[in-house]
Amino acid sequence: MSGGRNPHGGTTVEVKVHPRRGSPSSSSNPPVTRDRDFRLFKQWVPWLIPTFVFANVVVFIFTMYVNDCPENAFHGTCVAPFLGRFSFQPLKENPLFGPSSFTLQKMGALEVDKVVHEHEGWRLVSCIWLHGGAIHVLANMLSLLFIGIRLEQEFGFVRIGFLYVISGFGGSLLSSLFIQTGISVGASGALFGLLGGMLSELFINWTIYANKMAALLTLIIIVVINLAVGVLPHVDNFAHLGGFGSGFFLGFVVLIRPQFKWISQQQSKSGSHAFSVKQNKYLPYQYVLWVLSFLLLIAG
């Protein structure tokens, strides 16, 4: 309120009225949630996938230490002899710049005869942490970082770690059924499981994606290219197929996402505005895919 004098000599009183707090004129509108806003989902800090990469590299270095090419191979035949006991086997024996088959077998490579007749079932899991050479481990770890980091950011370490290990196990199982001789090593089955999980995640969460066909086409191209590599010599495509199938069905179970409208409704409950109609957390087709995939996993 302020006072002043008018030209006629009177006093003018000016009163300024401020709106009350909380009145209808000053109330804020309810927050508008944009459809397909992925910021509504929790984002995780990835640490498990980098840990897996570190573990695989350490295991490979230790495998080369155990291999000790200068001690166990003919003199002068080791590759990169300046590395000492970490030098590689002759390229005729291992073109991937790695250890001998005997060393890989000793370290826990998948060998069906030992699994079946000597009850060494742990080899079905240990083999996914071993690699046949420097080229093998480099290619797999780069792929793991490229695929796994994004998945762990979106779904967390528990689900992605479970998907990785179970897919590797599934790859080992299928490899054991069709390859009865020789040994098998590598994280390729687990990697294909992550690819399979990405594909099933796209299907089961189909309605929340904007560029559905572009994402689907990209994934299919990546999978086909990687499966085509399996026709090369010494590549275990059965492990790839087993890992992909395991990850594909498991992805329907562990990578399912609620609908955006349901998340918005849950967030609005703490505020003054609420949805007039209750939103479903999942759509009917998501429940159907979840149940079918779970049953197929158990049957498998």
Average pLDDT over residues 138-165: 94
Residue 13 tokens, joined? 């009183």
CB 249 within 8 A of CB 296: yes
Q: Check residue 156 and report its DSSP letter.
A: -
CA atoms within 13 A on the CB side of 120: 17
pLDDT for the residue 252:
96
Q: Is the pLDDT of residue 231 over 80?
A: no
Q: Give the pLDDT score at 254.
A: 95
Return the amino acid letter for 241: L
By percentage, how much of the chain surpasses pLDDT 90?
58
In this model, does residue 11 exceed pLDDT 90? no
- Which residue shows structure tokens 């166990």? 72
Distance separating alpha carbons of residues 112 and 177, to the nearest angstrom: 8
Helix axes 48-67 and 157-178, enclosed angle (nearest 10): 40
Q: Residue 258 has what pLDDT?
A: 85
Confidence of residue 201 (pLDDT cuts 50, 70, 90): very high
Of the candidates 131, 203, 202, 125, the one whose C-alpha atom is nearest the C-alpha of residue 166 is 125
pLDDT tens digits for 289-300? 999 999 998 888
Q: Around Cβ 172, how many Cβ atoms within 10 Å?
A: 29
Q: Which tokens go with 207?
A: 């309605």
**Separation CA 164–CA 79 (nearest Å):** 33
Given CATH 3.10.20.30, say whether it is the number of domain 109-257+281-299.
no
- Answer for the pair 241, 292: CB distance below 8 angstroms, yes or no: no
pLDDT at 55 exceeding the cut of 80:
yes
Ordered DSSP codes for 253-281: HHS----HHHHHHHHHTTSS---SSPPPS
Where does residue 254 fall: left (phi above 0), alpha (psi -120 to 50 degrees), or beta otherwise?
alpha
Minimum mean pLDDT range among 81-95, 113-127, 215-229, 270-284: 270-284
Confidence of residue 40 (pLDDT cuts 50, 70, 90): low
Q: Is 143 an active-site residue?
A: no
The pLDDT, as a whole number, for residue 22 is 45
Q: Which of 87, 136, 240, 293 is catalytic?
A: 240
Query: What was the pLDDT predicted at 39?
Result: 61
- pLDDT (average), residues 17-45: 54
- Among residues 100, 176, 184, 188, the one annotated as catalytic is 188
- Mean pLDDT, residues 193-208 taken together: 92
Q: Which residue has the higher pLDDT, 276 or 195?
A: 195
- Which candidate, 16, 49, 41, 86, places its Cα nearest to that of 208? 41
User: What are the domain boundaries of the chain?
Assistant: 109-257+281-299
First to last CA, the chain: 81
- The Cα angle at residue 226 between residues 221 and 232, in degrees rounded to 5: 135
Residue 250 is encoded by which pair of tokens?
Answer: 């498991």
Give the mean model confidence (pLDDT) for residues 141-170: 95
pLDDT at 179 over 90: no
Q: What is the mean pLDDT of the chain?
A: 84
Which parts of the chain are beta strand (E)?
A: 2-5, 11-14
Whether the pTM exceeds 0.85: the reply is no
pLDDT surpasses 70 at 230: no
Task: Please state, in angstroms and rounded to a whole number, the distance separating the CA atoms of residues 129 and 71.
Answer: 25
Residue 97 zone, left/alpha/beta (φ > 0; ψ -120 to 50; rest):
left
Give the pLDDT band of residue 232 (cuts 50, 70, 90).
Answer: low
pLDDT of residue 3: 53
Alpha helices in the chain (DSSP H): 48-67, 69-72, 101-107, 112-117, 123-126, 134-155, 157-178, 188-204, 212-229, 237-254, 260-268, 284-299
Rounded to 5°, angle at Cα 152 from 171 and 144: 50
Asked if 240 is an active-site residue, the reply is yes
